[in-house]
Amino acid sequence: MNSKIAFVINPNAGVKKKINIQNFIIEHFPKDIHYDFLIWEDKNDFETIKQQIVKNNYSILVACGGDGTVNQVSSVVVNTPIALGILPLGSGNGLARSNKIPMDLKQALAVIAKGAVRKIDSALINGIPYFCTAGVGFDALIANCFATSTKRGLATYINTTIKEFFNYKSNHYSIVVDGVKTNVDAFLITIANAGQWGNDVYIAPGAKLDDGLLRVSILKPFSKRSIPAIGLKLFFKKIDTSNHFMALVGKKIEIEFNNELPVHFDGEPILVKNKLNIEVVPLSLNVVC
């Protein structure tokens, strides 16, 4: 294998951070394949890492961390010949799971060593690249809470969701998909390139990573007694059978709303006022999987 590989390590990311990931890679990655380590020390400064990537002309960049790390590395290699590898160290690992990359780290390293690549779509939300899901509404609120939490993992995500649910009020949205307008009250709206948020929780069961389309998954307001059924449908890829669910499919999406609301892209939270513009970028990312 002649690939030039760099492992981009976020030492502060993910539920598996107790592992010394550098030592783990040294121990388990094939000795006959050369690679470098790029350590992302400062969460707010990825520019230094980006400069090293450009300077060294890598063919594979491996994101070692959670969904935030994967998004940052993917944003560098999208629309380039460089391929994205993923060593899943996060709590959700949405893009890794969607590409059938093993959660077992030794097996994930074996996939990277093999180097088989597929092309997938990406998307832009108000000009920001994302690769798995983006959204506005309740899931974006939870992403914001989760990002500031000192604890990670599925249990923290569930506890945060339960805590915030009882104070949350749905919003009214105007959605235009490829020129067709829909007005709707929604608990959340997810614009999905991949089918799941992470942890195999599927908000867009019909989504495909390479079909040049985005799925707009709309979860309408629902009663407390509907929570168990909706939760089960999300885990069993059946949310599209819920009476509270609505799906739209297209390439360009505009979403308008009143005031400033939390928005997320690949779990990374931002605040956006009044309008979102989302579009698919077909077959723009090479992924080792």
- Is 197 part of any domain? yes
Same domain, 89 and 176: no
CATH, residue 141: 2.60.200.40
Count: domains in the chain: 2
Q: What is the pLDDT of residue 13?
A: 62
CATH, residue 103: 3.40.50.10330
Q: How far, in Å, CA of 263 to CA of 126, rounded?
A: 11
Last residue of a domain, one of 115, 146, 168: 115
Longest dimension (CA), the chain: 58
Same domain, 14 and 78: yes
Amino acid at 156: T
pLDDT tens-digit readout, 76-88: 999 999 999 999 9
Same domain, 235 and 260: yes
Same domain, 170 and 257: yes
Q: How far is CA 24 from the centre of its chain?
A: 25
State the pTM of this model.
0.91
Residue with tokens 């520019």: 47
- Asked if residues 244 and 222 have their Cβ atoms less than 8 Å apart, the reply is yes
Beta-bridge mates of residue 229: none
- Is 120 part of any domain? no
Last residue of a domain, one of 115, 147, 175: 115
Same domain, 71 and 185: no
Banded pLDDT at 252 (limits 50, 70, 90): very high
- Is 37 part of any domain? yes
Q: Which DSSP symbol is given to 123?
A: E
- Is 14 part of any domain? yes
CA dihedral sign, ordered 187, 231, 271, 80:
negative
Same domain, 272 and 132: yes
Token output for 280: 């698919």
Q: What is the pLDDT of residue 19?
A: 79
pLDDT tens-digit readout, 106-162: 999 999 999 999 999 999 999 999 999 999 999 899 888 877 776 766 677 777 878
Q: What is the pLDDT of residue 16?
A: 55
Q: How far, in Å, CA of 278 to CA of 136, rounded?
A: 12
Mean pLDDT of the chain: 92
- Is 57 part of any domain? yes
Same domain, 267 and 132: yes
Half-sphere exposure for 171 (CA within 13 Å, toward CB): 20
- Asked if residues 71 and 8 have their Cβ atoms less than 8 Å apart, the reply is no
- Is 122 part of any domain? no
pLDDT tens-digit readout, 16-61: 557 789 999 999 999 999 999 999 887 777 888 888 888 898 999 9
Amino acid at 99: N
Same domain, 72 and 145: no
Q: How far, in Å, CA of 190 to CA of 196, rounded?
A: 10
The average pLDDT across 205-219 equals 98
DSSP string, 25-76: HHHHS-TTS-EEEEE---TT--HHHHHHHHHHT-SEEEEEESHHHHHHHHHH
Same domain, 144 and 207: yes
- Is 22 part of any domain? yes
Same domain, 107 and 133: no
Same domain, 111 and 133: no
Domain range spanning residue 232?
Answer: 128-281
Last residue of a domain, one of 89, 115, 141: 115
- Is 287 part of any domain? no
Same domain, 228 and 142: yes
pLDDT tens-digit readout, 157-201: 777 878 888 889 999 999 999 999 999 999 999 999 999 999 999
